[in-house]
Chain A
Amino acid sequence: MSKVLIIIPAYNESQNIEKTVKDVIENTDYDYVIINDCSKDNTKEVCEKNNFNIISLPINCGLTSGIQIGMKYAYKHGYDIAIQFDGDGQHQAKYLKELVKEIENKNCDIAIGSRFITKKKPKNMRMLGSSLLTGAIKLTTLKTIKDPTSGMRAYNKKAIEKFIQNASLTPEPDTLVYMIKKGLKIKEIQVEMKEREFGESYLNPIKSMQYMVNMFFSILFIRAVTIKNK
């Protein structure tokens, strides 16, 4: 049985975090750690009141930094699998077992909880972006990833080590391209996600545009020329 860590990054999620963590505790028997990215609301107090396992960052540095410290924690404590899991209540912990099983059976190095394996993508602006990213990944790696923006991903030890070695890796689609280029195998598993109940998503139209431009630039010009053996 491998040691599994669930990394839950949280920023201003005091209304969602309790439910998310209870879901994780009830539906899985894995360890978890909440990364509180210097929330302005009382996320920290809520977690401490419930005695959750929490790491609090003294300065807000964004999601990437949150995942990276989670990876450092996983590496330091010798975890075999690290799962990135949103703290906003969109992800359901009952699917995590399937992701872990895929990695344990050595079917893949990274397992993605995907919304669109058996289901069709709905047609809206956000999904157009998702499809474009799928296209960009296909263009650079010849692999199809149907839900590249999914935030539910499980990484094995090899992938965790990549995160430790390379500080420029983000928990975003461009990292998937990097991992594929480095020879890691990626598999998607059908999951369902809920809409967020409380609080606001950080993606407004301008930020979404910025995100897409960043991702395209990174995938096509930076990650696409990753050298396999270093």
Chain B
Amino acid sequence: MSITLRIILIIASLISSFLCIKRIKQSKLKVENSIVWMIGSIILILMSIFSNAVEWLSSKLGFMAPVNFVFLIVIVFLLIQTFINNIKIAMLNEKIKDLNHYIALEEYERKSK
């Protein structure tokens, strides 16, 4: 891994951790939601620091360049995140629909009394 990439990864991770903590303090983000981002940042920082280990592992796994391996990990991480978000949105939709029905039926009962 080139030194530039390592520096970029470290800076990006630090910025994202900083933003996470700031959002939590402003109570715009929940602790349990931020943990996954913090862990992601920590992994990226570790990968930048111990780049020899990443290089060794990526060559063992048959990647053309270690940077590809890093990108793959980031992409997989993001895909999992979007999938989880998708499920959460569907659940929220279902909850909104149930609430919608509940309110409408209550209103109806109240009016017909």
Contacts and interface: CB of A to CB of B under 8 A. Distances in A.
A127 interface: no
Nearest to A168: B94
Contacts of B96: 59, 61
Interface stretch (B17-25, B35-43, B73-81, B98-106): B98-106
B94 A69 contact: no
Interface stretch (A17-25, A50-58, A93-101, A178-186): A50-58
Given A55-B108, A56-B107, A65 B94 contact: no
Interface in A61-102: 61, 65, 68-69, 72-73, 76
Interface in A162-179: 167
A64 B103 CA distance: 17
Interface residues of A, number: 13
B103 A58 contact: yes
B104 A57 contact: yes
B88 interface: no
Interface band, chain B: 10 to 19
Nearest to B98: A167
A70 to B, nearest CB: 10
Q: Could you tell me the dominant secondary structure of chain B's interface residues?
A: helix
Contacts of A58: 100, 103-104, 107
B100 A68 contact: no
B105 A72 contact: yes
Contacts of A73: 105
Nearest to B101: A69
Interface in B84-104: 94, 96-97, 100-101, 103-104
B105 A65 contact: no
Contact of A55 (B94, B97, B104): B104
A68 B101 contact: yes
Nearest to A68: B101
B94 A57 contact: no
B108 A65 contact: no
Query: Which of A69, A73, A76 has most B Cβ within 10 Å?
Result: A69
Interface of A: 55-59, 61, 65, 68-69, 72-73, 76, 167
